[in-house]
Structure 1
Amino acid sequence: MTTAPGRPLRDRERRVAAKILSAAAGTDELVAQLPVARVRSGAVTFLNLAVPAEVPHASVPDGPLPVSAVVNDPDGHPLGEIIVWVEGGLLSALEYAWVTDEEPGEWPAPEHVSTSGQSGP
């Protein structure tokens, strides 16, 4: 398997993405892509991903996964949401859309992300 260019997902990025993927139907292949996904560019709030083409592709539509992944601070105040983007059955981006005055400097801890949406089988 070829290695995509860029850095691997950091632990927190990978754990948040895995939590979101677990709330969506038909994402087993996307979960399996997390260890080989590489961040090829982007700021903290938008990570452009590269995944080797030879990995199994998910049978999900292109675009954002239909999962709500709300980020709250420890007191329960909303900070934003995480959006997982897919293109051609492969992870293509992770987006941290914030609703605060200041851009986040790091990804949230998984326990501060709550999910709802299409659940798996």
Structure 2
Amino acid sequence: MDTPSPERLDENARALLTAACHHLGPQGQILMQQARRARVVASSPTMIDVDVPTTEPLLDLPDGPIAGRLLVVTADELSGEILIWVRSGRLIGLEQAWYTDSAPAGWPQPSQLEWTHQNRPTSGDDAR
């Protein structure tokens, strides 16, 4: 029996990445190229882990979440943010942080996102 191959990022996840890529200059183009080739290795309503082929160009970004913040706004209220994680020049995942009492049941739509260049507060090591 054949083992199914890991799936690619779905259209909504790629759209979430696109929302950030517009603010990353040339690095955004590389990030989108990686996203198109990335394979999902694990996922949940708040986390998507991916593997990017080693043949893809590397990002020139530090390890950890990318700079800036992709905020999630629901019913005109800030409800969370999307963190885009990079390690060794490669996209490794998306994480959905929430500011409400309940975890989100799914990923937001791109229309719910707002970009800010303000970085998130640091409280220790951001080593995912």
Q: Which TM-score applies when normalising by structure 1?
A: 0.86
Deviation at 1:21, TM superposition (A): 2.1
CA distance in 1, matches of 2:113, 2:90: 22
Q: Which amino acid aligns with 1:92?
A: I
Partner of 2:13: 13
Q: Which has the higher contact order (CA 8 A, sep 6+)?
A: 1
Partner of 2:68: 67
Partner of 1:96: 96
- The alignment-based identity, stated in percent, is 30
CA distance in 1, matches of 2:45, 2:54: 25
**Higher CA-based Rg:** 2
Instruction: Report runs of 4+ in structure 1 exceeding 3 Å deviation.
Output: none
Partner of 2:35: 34
| 2:24 counterpart of 1:55 | no
Q: Which amino acid aligns with 2:88?
A: G
Deviation at 1:116, TM superposition (A): 1.7
Q: Which amino acid aligns with 1:6?
A: P
CA distance in 2, matches of 1:71, 1:64: 16
Partner of 2:77: 77
Structure 1's unaligned 5+ residue stretches are none
8 A Cα contact 1:51 1:90, kept in partner: yes
8 A Cα contact 1:23 1:116, kept in partner: no
Structure 2's unaligned 5+ residue stretches are 119-128
CA distance in 2, matches of 1:88, 1:116: 24
What is the number of equivalent residue pairs in this alignment?
A: 113
Q: Which amino acid aligns with 2:45?
A: V
CA distance in 1, matches of 2:102, 2:6: 27
